[in-house]
């Protein structure tokens, strides 16, 4: 299990730059990372692993705002995996990480070495560089109200080493995470394609259970989740549509996939199960039209007229 250094937790310079909420949440984030100190930045996985017992559970805005602070304070390096997923690499001593790595730890995507090294070096120079691959970071991290911190402009510089927020941030102004959010978060409306997918899921659920209750609020949330699946998870609309139709036609999954959030959480598992079922349905011979079954071969018996009289042999 990873180890938290008490001196760093209580007196660390970088952690002291964070808000109170971000400092209190940090041990949960750190212990949720794997043996290499890598953290998959996915709201649902983070909640399931580290924050499910909180009452109330932190919102996506709360957790992503903390990640923003850790990045600004140079605690975590952010990078994209090959599949487009967002990951973070903690800047910590190897002695604080698990000595023995699991297979899952070793499968986790490694940060780009050159950018990671440049990012660590920039801290020594009083600079905070942003990886070139994270130009869309303003979409990944929701912002409260209309505020955009000076250290994270919406238009991010191309390339690393340009420096963002070189000076010290004033401590007189509270961080986003410290403020009570009286106004709703600014979020773009779900795309028309996302709303169509939400409509399809509602239609299929009602076909299975005409008495199912699906409120307008639930439908709106489904559209948002569908939009995130396509925009953040890099799923295509066709992939989502196919899984909706398949899951609602399956006797088991139609009872379990009753929301777009559940579909998003189980997307990979559903994809694997669907392919497995397709192989089973194809059977031993597959679906090839060239398949022609061989006739049975019984000893001393043939239906061929060329075989002649079999001499009245009994079978």
**Residues 185-220 pLDDT 10s:** 445 688 999 999 999 999 999 999 999 999 988 999
pLDDT of residue 2: 58
Segment 234-263 shows an average pLDDT of 92
pLDDT of residue 160: 34
* Residue where the block lists tokens 């903690």: 90
* Residue where the block lists tokens 């909420």: 21
156 pLDDT tier (thresholds 50, 70, 90): very low
Q: How many residues does the chain have?
A: 315
Alpha helices in 32-161 (DSSP H): 43-46, 60-72, 103-107, 113-124, 137-140
Segment 259-272 shows an average pLDDT of 91
pLDDT of residue 154: 41
β strands within the chain, DSSP E: 38-40, 76-80, 86-90
Which DSSP category does 209 fall into? -
- Burial zone of 183 (CB within 10 Å; 0-12 exposed, 13-18 middle, 19+ buried): exposed
| Chain centre to alpha carbon of residue 46 | 10
Q: Name the 3-class secondary structure at 25.
A: helix
Nearest to 42 by CA among 101, 85, 89: 85
Segment 264-288 shows an average pLDDT of 77
Nearest to 111 by CA among 128, 135, 93, 86: 86
pLDDT in tens, 293-309: 555 555 555 555 554 45
Residue 186 token pair: 């600014």
For residue 243, pLDDT beyond 90: yes
Q: Which residues, in sequence order, are bridge partners of residue 139?
A: none
148 pLDDT tier (thresholds 50, 70, 90): very low
pTM of the full predicted structure? 0.45
Question: With contact defined as beta carbons under 8 Å apart, do 103 and 137 qualify?
Answer: no
User: How far is the C-alpha of 52 from the C-alpha of 41, rounded, in Å?
Assistant: 16
The strands making up 86-90's β-sheet, listed across from edge to edge, are: 38-40, 86-90, 76-80
Give the DSSP letter string of 236-289.
-HHHHHHHHHHHHHSTTGGGT--SHHHHHHTHHHHHHHHHHHHHHHHTTTTT-T
pLDDT in tens, 74-130: 888 888 888 878 899 988 877 777 778 889 888 999 998 888 888 777 776 665 555
For residue 137, pLDDT beyond 80: no
pLDDT of residue 65: 86
* Residue where the block lists tokens 């439908």: 219
Question: With contact defined as beta carbons under 8 Å apart, do 165 and 72 qualify?
Answer: yes
For residue 11, pLDDT beyond 70: yes
Angle at 80 between CA 76 and CA 85, to 5 degrees: 105
Nearest to 130 by CA among 147, 148, 153, 107: 153
Among 3-7, 223-227, 302-306, name the one with the lowest average pLDDT.
302-306
């Amino acid at each position: 299990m990873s180890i938290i250094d008490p001196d760093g937790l209580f007196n660390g310079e970088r952690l002291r730059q964070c808000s109170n909420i971000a400092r209190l949440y940090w041990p949960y984030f750190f212990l949720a990372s794997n043996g290499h100190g890598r953290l998959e930045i996915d709201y649902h996985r983070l909640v399931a692993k580290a924050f499910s017992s909180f009452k109330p559970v932190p919102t996506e805005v709360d957790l992503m705002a903390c990640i923003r602070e850790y990045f600004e304070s140079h605690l975590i390096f952010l990078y994209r995996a090959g599949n487009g997923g967002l990951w973070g690499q903690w800047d910590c001593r190897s002695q604080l990480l698990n000595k023995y790595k699991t297979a899952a730890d070793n499968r986790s995507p490694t940060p780009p070495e050159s950018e990671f090294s440049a990012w660590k070096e920039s801290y020594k120079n009083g600079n905070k560089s942003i990886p070139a691959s994270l130009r869309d970071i303003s979409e990944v991290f929701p912002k409260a109200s209309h505020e955009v911190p000076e250290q994270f402009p919406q238009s991010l510089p191309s390339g690393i080493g340009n420096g963002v927020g070189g000076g010290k941030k004033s401590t007189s102004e509270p961080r986003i995470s410290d403020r009570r959010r009286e106004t709703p978060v600014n979020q773009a409306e779900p795309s028309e394609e996302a709303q169509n997918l939400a409509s399809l899921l509602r239609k299929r659920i009602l076909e299975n259970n005409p008495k199912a209750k699906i409120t307008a609020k639930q439908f709106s949330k489904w559209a948002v989740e569908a939009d995130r699946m396509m925009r953040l998870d890099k799923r295509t609309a066709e992939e989502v549509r196919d899984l909706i139709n398949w899951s609602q036609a399956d006797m088991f999954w139609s009872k379990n996939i009753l929301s777009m959030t559940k579909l998003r959480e189980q997307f990979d598992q559903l994809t694997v199960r669907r392919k497995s079922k397709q192989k089973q349905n194809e059977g031993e011979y597959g679906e090839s039209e060239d398949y022609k079954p061989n006739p049975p071969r019984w000893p001393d018996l043939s239906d061929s007229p060329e075989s002649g009289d079999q001499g009245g042999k009994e079978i």
